Structure 1
Amino acid sequence: MHLVEFTLSRPPASGQALPEQTLLDVLWSASRPGGGIEHIRVHPSRAGARGVVFCLAADGRQALLRVRSLCERAVNQAPALHGWRLTAVGPAGPDRA
């Protein structure tokens, strides 16, 4: 199990921050069976959102790739995240080097 951090940035003119539950729903909708995503925690802000994912993967590199793919699918497929972008993905907690 690996803990991976991510940051999503929203366009400056996109209005109010999205509710936490909306962001969670979008991220879970972008997950795939067998993708290793076990738990998602997200904190919305005026700038976008920061979060962490507990991911099952053979190693830290694979966990980073899985979370990157998850976030990119969410940003590219969800109308609620139109104009948003993934700005950071990296190890968190004990996986951080």
Structure 2
Amino acid sequence: MYMASVTLAASGEATHRELDPHVLVDLLWALAEPGLGIEHMRVATGPGRIEVVFFSTAPDAHSVAITGIHLCETAVSSAPQLRGWIVVPIAGNEGPGQQ
């Protein structure tokens, strides 16, 4: 099993909003397809920052990171609760929308 962490950062008015970590976990599970290999997620929230850790049966850590980035980007672009949040690029994990 491999794990990868993805960070979300608040921008604009989102910096003043608290997000229930259970809501984000539920949202991410709703977006995760069974074939992705995600076994567990852990979310920690703080002022202006969210840390999401994904645990997966993917073949390597890079695959878990790419999957986590994709799920978080999808959540940010589709969930009203995450309006104003962005996925922080992770060096070495060039996922969708990252170079």
Q: Structure 2 matches for 1:17-28, cutoff 5 A?
A: 17-28=18-29
Q: Which runs of 4+ in 1 moved over 4 A?
A: none
User: How many angstroms does 1:34 deviate by?
Assistant: 0.8
Residue aligning to 1:84: 85
User: How many angstroms does 1:89 deviate by?
Assistant: 4.5
Residue aligning to 1:75: 76
Aligned partner letter, 2:36: G
Residue aligning to 1:95: none
Secondary structure of 1:4's counterpart equals strand
User: How many angstroms does 1:80 deviate by?
Assistant: 0.8
Residue aligning to 2:97: none
**TM-score after normalising by structure 2:** 0.79
The question of whether the paired residues in 2 share the 8 Å contact of 1:75 and 1:85 is answered with yes
Secondary structure of 2:88's counterpart equals strand
Q: Structure 2 matches for 1:1-97, cutoff 5 A?
A: 1-14=1-14, 15-89=16-90
What CA distance in whole angstroms lies between the structure 2 residues aligned with 1:89 and 1:6? 8
Q: Runs of 5+ in structure 2 lacking a partner?
A: 92-99
**TM-score after normalising by structure 1:** 0.81
- How many pairs align? 91
- Over the residues paired in the alignment, what is the CA RMSD in angstroms? 1.9
Aligned partner letter, 2:66: L
